[in-house]
Amino acid sequence: MHDIMMIGHVSKDIIEDPEGVQRVFGGPVIYSSAAATRTGASVHVVTKASREDQEKLAILHECGATVTVLDSPETTSIHNLYETSDHERRTVTLLSSATPFTLEEVPQDTVKIYHLAGLFVGEIPETLIKDLAQRAPVAIDAQGVVRFSREGDMIFRDWETKKEYLPHVQFLKTDAAEAELLTGTSDRDVAADKLLEMGAREVMITHNTEVLIATRDGERFRSPLTPRNLSGRTGRGDTCFAAYLARQLTHPRKEALAYAAALVSIKMEAPGVFRGTVQDVLDRIV
């Protein structure tokens, strides 16, 4: 039995900004698994890659996660073009895509949470939300249901079937822009309320200054982000959500949120995945 099963593509990322070009293996499952395992959760990652790329995925194993890599003709690859060094705005292009996941490919392990960590629409068919929710609580990242590839260019648009599927979602994570897209409001508290009304049981909204949690049973908490620099900004949302999911398994929501905000603040100060310890995070909590 694992605490969390994370399902999603890895990505051969090309990151281009005014300072140069980097080529790294990324994707939500890489950042998420590091944060969750180093928080103490047992994690099973289910991903897809071409056979020639599978041997390059050591980063998934080094954090201690169980890893299942399914064969795909291609590995997902994404080009991220940041116009400024603060990485505030980017142009995203999908260069190639691994095949979508099917229910039959999801291992029958007993888990406490299914974390659907998608990069774009179609990678994880939305029908899996209902199917997996019959087995265990489902957590989803909104980017996997609002980010579309249009001839390679990544565009954002509303999730048309959100009212059908959100009632099957235990944990929903969005950033501020995604929350506005889904609800029509830039007020994060109002957006959270609307997403709860649509059926999600617990909503996380990340912003560059704070993280907000709101629940169907009336709890609402927020914690500040305190990075001293933004050199490790890539993967911050994935890291924050996974840290929260892992910590709330053993701690109250308010404490889990403070922990997740502190962990992602540390992660944002250095490129790559979170490599610290639980004590590092506890020492950072404000």
Residues 224-249: tens digit of each pLDDT:
999 999 888 889 999 999 999 999 99
CATH of the domain at 195: 3.40.1190.20
Question: Does residue 171 register a pLDDT over 80?
Answer: yes
- Token representation of residue 111: 């888990």
Q: What is the pLDDT of residue 58?
A: 87
Residues paired with 67 in a beta bridge: 45
Q: How far is CA 157 from CA 126, 174, 179, 182, in A?
A: 15, 13, 11, 8
Q: Which domain holds residue 64?
A: 2-284
Q: What is the pLDDT of residue 8?
A: 98
Question: Does residue 152 register a pLDDT over 90?
Answer: no
The DSSP call for residue 277 is -
Residues 103-141: tens digit of each pLDDT:
999 999 999 999 999 999 999 999 999 999 999 999 999
CA 67, CA 62: separation in Å to the nearest integer? Answer: 10
Residue 29 contacts residue 45 (beta carbons within 8 Å):
yes
Our count of domains for the chain comes to: 1
- Token representation of residue 54: 């599978």
Instruction: Name every residue whose Cβ is closer than 8 Å to that of residue 130 and which is 6 or more positions away in sequence.
Output: 165, 168
